């Protein structure tokens, strides 16, 4: 296969003396031996997507390496100088997770920023994403960088860029940073020589302040005192949660915490799991085995940068079962609104936030407590944007999304598995204090609001050709949308790219008041909802399915759940996705 001219030109540029010998040798090897990998490494520049800069580590413009990290950081620095022209110095906070090369990339970011005259607060060791968000706000920084690829496989690393409110960048800032990065056409434009006195090491003092704020969130301290021996298994999956999650659980009052020792070691190779993703069942296998050995009540697992959490609970047959992100969100939202109401904290001016692909059960829960519900695009940066817009007007209680991310309180502006673990454990203690379990609470929710069931299919298409195929799929859905899916008419289409909601029965169109995003939703006559969205951080296109039916009694749960599962399977088959 012939190498595209533009790809070859990009690669040959990296053979210059501006790049180190190791890099030049690897680029030469790719040119000589591996056309596909060469193309994937150089066909484009890494871009800021929904999760910032993220990619496979290696040489090339489309890879995470010291040059792409340095050039991105210089572009970011140039943009911040433009946005804060009267501020000297501009302040930044930087953290990293346990991934391979994360400390190295974090140091490069710090040195480039310090060379640009910035005051840089660099965490002394790995720290969770939410603590980085907290530090930005606490230290009065204008921006921040978290070096992580979240739950991606070990080959990946990434770079989340934050704004001065502690939230990930959204438009126009993310797009403007991309433009500034694109102006860095040579590594010679990067200020590589760091100024040591501009880099300040931070650590335990921020830990304490952050944990103090989480501890203040507790709503049922008396229940925890009585249920302090609730048996909890926790695994950090070789990542950042290994210290702070046990610390905050102890601060809340829990005394029976068991860590999966093999996974408490920070290791970017993630040797005990196929993928360090708490959404995947395999990632919790070791924790569940430990829970069965010691007869634990609750299992919790956080991803490498400790912003997402997956849990397992015991059902009515005393079996450990995994909760999906929607179910955990329902437990948290129902518990917190229930307790806020019981404690007289609800004044009618509170709100919660979720995303367009998360279960609609959350909006039903909010309505029943008289709490305003805001819906936003997928990605926690949009949840943070709603919090920003309502700041000083309404009181934020919590936000969450189906992909296992939750935020309680507004002192952090990204999903926070540290506080979520504490509140999930508190919810379990609150139920145990009533002689009940989290599964009992889930049944209570389903009996009250209906059994909501969701499904997700991710179709992966790697490389340049894969990205093109994914885009063509979206074009096809727009040009020839389905009239019927699984024997149910499509009655409405929401196109977030065109910002239009169209009724297929009447032809009536209404505007969608959200930022433009390449997302389509098909609403069926039977109430089912199908959402289609290319991932902003991975080479995938995602299909989300939501169905619902009334639940008469807990005894009917498995039958009704299986029926809804078959319905989702039928929709998937009808759309030819299996």
DSSP run (H or E) holding 489:
strand 488-495
Whether the CB-CB separation of 325 and 279 falls below 8 Å is answered with: yes
Q: Is 140 helix (H, G, I), strand (E, B) or coil?
A: coil
Pairing outcome for strands 500-503 and 509-511: antiparallel
Beta bridge partners of 451: 549
In the residue annotation, 150 being an active-site residue is answered as yes
Cα of 299 vs its chain's centroid, Å = 20
Of 150, 220, 488, 517, catalytic:
150
Distance CA 424, CA 96 (A): 25
Pairing outcome for strands 309-314 and 298-302: antiparallel
- Which residues, 6+ apart, have CB-to-CB distance to 260 below 8 Å? 233, 234, 235, 286, 287, 290
The backbone region for 299, taken as left when phi is positive above 0, alpha when psi lies in -120 to 50, beta otherwise, is: beta
Beta bridge partners of 168: 162
Distance CA 552, CA 532 (A): 32
Distance CA 570, CA 566 (A): 6
Within 10 Å of residue 281's Cβ, how many Cβ atoms? 12
How far is the CA of 155 from the CAs of 72, 172, 275, 521, in angstroms? 20, 30, 11, 32
User: Helices H, strands E: what count in the chain?
Assistant: 18, 23
DSSP run (H or E) holding 395:
strand 395-401
Distance CA 174, CA 49 (A): 8
How far is the CA of 33 from the CAs of 2, 30, 40, 232, in angstroms? 12, 5, 14, 51
Beta bridge partners of 56: 156
Q: Is 301 helix (H, G, I), strand (E, B) or coil?
A: strand
Cα of 141 vs its chain's centroid, Å = 22
Handedness of CA 171, 120, 83, 180 (dihedral sign): negative
User: What's the distance, Cα to Cα, between the start and end of the chain in Å?
Assistant: 31
Q: What DSSP designation does 302 have?
A: E
Burial class (CB in 10 A: 0-12, 13-18, 19+), 256: middle
- Which residues, 6+ apart, have CB-to-CB distance to 566 below 8 Å? none
Pairing outcome for strands 143-147 and 156-162: antiparallel
Distance CA 82, CA 91 (A): 14
Distance CA 69, CA 64 (A): 7
Task: Find the helix packing angle between 21-33 and 5-13, rounded to 10°.
Answer: 160
The residues carrying an active-site annotation are 150
């Amino acid at each position: 296969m012939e190498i595209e001219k533009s790809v070859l030109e990009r690669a040959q540029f990296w053979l210059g003396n501006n790049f180190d010998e190791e890099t030049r040798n690897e680029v030469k090897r790719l040119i000589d031996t591996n056309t596909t990998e060469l193309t994937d490494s150089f066909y484009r520049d890494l871009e800021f997507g929904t999760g910032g800069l993220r990619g496979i580590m290696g040489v090339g413009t489309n890879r995470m390496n010291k040059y792409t990290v340095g050039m991105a950081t210089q572009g970011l620095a140039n943009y911040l100088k433009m946005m804060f022209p009267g501020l000297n110095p501009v302040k930044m906070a930087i953290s990293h997770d346990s991934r391979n090369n994360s400390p190295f990339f974090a140091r490069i970011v710090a040195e480039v920023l310090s060379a640009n005259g910035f005051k840089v607060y660099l965490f002394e060791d790995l720290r969770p994403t939410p603590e980085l968000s907290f530090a930005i706000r606490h230290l009065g920084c204008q921006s921040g960088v978290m070096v992580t690829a979240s739950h991606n496989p070990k080959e990946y690393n990434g770079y989340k860029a934050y704004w001065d409110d502690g939230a990930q960048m959204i438009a126009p800032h993310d797009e403007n940073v991309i433009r500034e990065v694109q102006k860095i056409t040579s590594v010679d434009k990067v200020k590589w020589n760091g100024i040591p006195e501009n880099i300040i090491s931070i650590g335990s003092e921020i830990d304490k302040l952050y944990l103090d704020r989480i501890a203040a969130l507790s709503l049922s301290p008396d229940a925890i005192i009585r249920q302090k021996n609730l048996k909890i298994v926790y695994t950090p999956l070789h990542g950042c949660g290994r210290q702070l999650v046990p610390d905050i659980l102890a601060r809340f009052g829990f005394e029976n915490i068991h860590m999966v020792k093999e996974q408490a070691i920070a290791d970017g190779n993630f040797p005990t799991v196929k993928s360090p993703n708490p959404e995947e069942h395999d990632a919790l296998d070791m924790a569940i085995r430990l829970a069965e050995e010691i007869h634990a009540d609750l299992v919790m697992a956080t991803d490498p940068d400790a912003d997402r959490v997956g849990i397992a609970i015991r059902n009515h047959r005393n079996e450990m079962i995994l909760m999906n992100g929607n179910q955990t969100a329902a437990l948290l939202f129902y518990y917190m609104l229930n307790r806020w109401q019981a404690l007289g904290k609800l004044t009618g001016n509170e709100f919660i936030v979720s995303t367009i692909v998360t279960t609609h059960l959350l909006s039903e829960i909010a309505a029943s407590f008289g709490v305003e519900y805001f819906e936003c695009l997928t990605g926690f940066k949009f949840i943070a944007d709603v919090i920003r817009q309502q700041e000083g007007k309404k009181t934020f209680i919590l936000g969450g999304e189906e992909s296992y991310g939750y935020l309680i309180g507004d002192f952090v502006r990204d999903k926070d598995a540290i506080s979520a673990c504490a509140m999930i454990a508190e919810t379990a203690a609150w139920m145990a204090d009533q002689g009940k379990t989290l599964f009992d609470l889930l049944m209570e929710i389903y009996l009250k609001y209906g059994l909501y069931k969701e499904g997700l299919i991710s179709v992966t298409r790697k490389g340049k050709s894969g990205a093109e195929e994914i885009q063509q799929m979206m074009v096809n859905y727009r040009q020839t949308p389905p009239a019927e899916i699984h024997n149910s008419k499509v009655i409405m289409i929401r196109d977030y790219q065109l910002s239009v909601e169209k009724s297929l029965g009447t032809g009536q169109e209404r505007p969608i008041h959200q930022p433009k995003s390449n997302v389509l939703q098909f609403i069926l006559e039977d109430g089912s909802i199908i959402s289609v969205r290319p991932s902003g951080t991975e080479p995938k296109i995602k299909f989300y399915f939501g169905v619902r039916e009334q639940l008469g009694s807990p005894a009917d749960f498995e039958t009704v759940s299986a029926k809804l599962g078959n319905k989702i399977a039928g929709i998937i088959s009808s759309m030819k996705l299996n």
